[in-house]
Structure 1
Amino acid sequence: MSLQTKIQGVLGLAAIGDAMGAATENLSFDQIRKHFGGKVTDLQKPGETAFALGNEAGQVTDDFSQVYFMSKAILKNEGVLDKETVIKAILDWSDVSWYFDRFAGPTTRSAVAMYKDPELKMKALPGAVTVDYASKATNGAAMKIAPAGILNPDNVAGAIEAAITITRVTHDNSLAISGACAIAAATSASLAPHSTVEEALAAGYYGAIRGETLAKEISREVAGPGVVERIQLAYNIVDGVGTKEEKLRRLSKIVGSGLHISEAVPCAFGIVALNKDSALDAVIDAVNIGYDTDTIATIVGTMVGAFVDLSDPEFLSLFKTVQQANDFDLVELSNSLADVVRFHEREQC
Structure 2
Amino acid sequence: MSLNTKIQGILGLAAIGDAMGAATENLSFDQIRKQFGHPVNKFEKPGETAFALGNEEGQVTDDFSQIYFLSQAILKNDGVLDSDIVIKAILDWSNVPWYFDRFAGPTTRSAVAMYKAPSLKMNPLPGAVTVDYASKATNGAAMKIAPAGILHPNDFEGAIDAAITITQVTHDNSLAISGACAVAVTTSASLAPNATVEEALSAGFYGALRGETKAKLISREVAGPSVVERIRLALNIVNGNGTKEEKLRHLSQVVGSGLHISEAVPCAFGIIALNKDDPLQAVIDAVNIGYDTDTIAAIVGSMIGSFMDLTDARFMSLFETVQRANDFNLVELAKSLENVVNAYEK
Asked if the contact 1:286–1:296 (Cα under 8 Å) also holds between the matched residues in 2, the reply is yes
Measure the CA separation in 2 of the matches of 1:281 and 1:199.
19
Matches within 5 A, 1:176-191: 176-191=176-191
Asked if the contact 1:133–1:172 (Cα under 8 Å) also holds between the matched residues in 2, the reply is no
Asked if the contact 2:124–2:130 (Cα under 8 Å) also holds between the matched residues in 1, the reply is no
Which residue number corresponds to residue 251 of structure 1?
Answer: 251
SS at match of 1:281: helix
Matches within 5 A, 1:66-85: 66-85=66-85
SS at match of 2:195: coil
Report Cα offsets for 1:161-196 as digits up to 9, x if no partner: 000000000000000000000000000000011100
TM-score by length of 1: 0.97
SS at match of 2:265: helix
Shift of 1:320: 0.4
Q: Partner amino acid for 2:333?
A: L
Q: Percent identical across equivalent pairs? A: 77
* Residue 205 of structure 2 corresponds to residue 205 of structure 1: yes
Shift of 1:129: 6.2
Shift of 1:125: 4.4
Shift of 1:306: 0.2
Matches within 5 A, 1:252-271: 252-271=252-271
Asked if the contact 1:172–1:219 (Cα under 8 Å) also holds between the matched residues in 2, the reply is yes
Which residue number corresponds to residue 99 of structure 1?
Answer: 99
How many positions carry a matched residue from both structures? 344
Which residue number corresponds to residue 20 of structure 1?
Answer: 20
Asked if the contact 1:2–1:193 (Cα under 8 Å) also holds between the matched residues in 2, the reply is yes
Measure the CA separation in 1 of the matches of 2:311 and 2:133.
42
SS at match of 2:75: helix
Matches within 5 A, 1:98-247: 98-121=98-121, 124-125=123-124, 132-247=132-247
Asked if the contact 2:134–2:172 (Cα under 8 Å) also holds between the matched residues in 1, the reply is yes
Which ranges of structure 1 fall in alignment gaps of 5 or more residues? Answer: none
Report Cα offsets for 1:30-75 as digits up to 9, x if no partner: 0000000010000011011100000000000000000000000000
Q: Partner amino acid for 1:83?
A: S
Shift of 1:134: 1.7
Matches within 5 A, 1:48-67: 48-67=48-67
List, as ranges, runs of 4+ consecutive aligned residues in structure 1 with deviation greater than 6 Å: none
Shift of 1:133: 2.2
SS at match of 1:280: helix
Q: Partner amino acid for 1:195?
A: A
Q: Partner amino acid for 2:345?
A: E
Q: Partner amino acid for 2:237?
A: I
SS at match of 1:160: helix
Measure the CA separation in 2 of the matches of 1:129 and 1:108.
18
Which residue number corresponds to residue 325 of structure 2?
Answer: 325
Q: Kindly report the root-mean-square deviation, in angstroms, between the aligned alpha carbons of the 2 structures.
A: 1.0
SS at match of 1:120: coil
Measure the CA separation in 1 of the matches of 2:124 and 2:26.
33
Report Cα offsets for 1:77-130 as digits up to 9, x if no partner: 000000000000000000000000000000000000000011123x63475767
Which ranges of structure 2 fall in alignment gaps of 5 or more residues? Answer: none
Q: Partner amino acid for 2:18?
A: D
Measure the CA separation in 1 of the matches of 2:107 and 2:89.
16
Shift of 1:151: 0.3
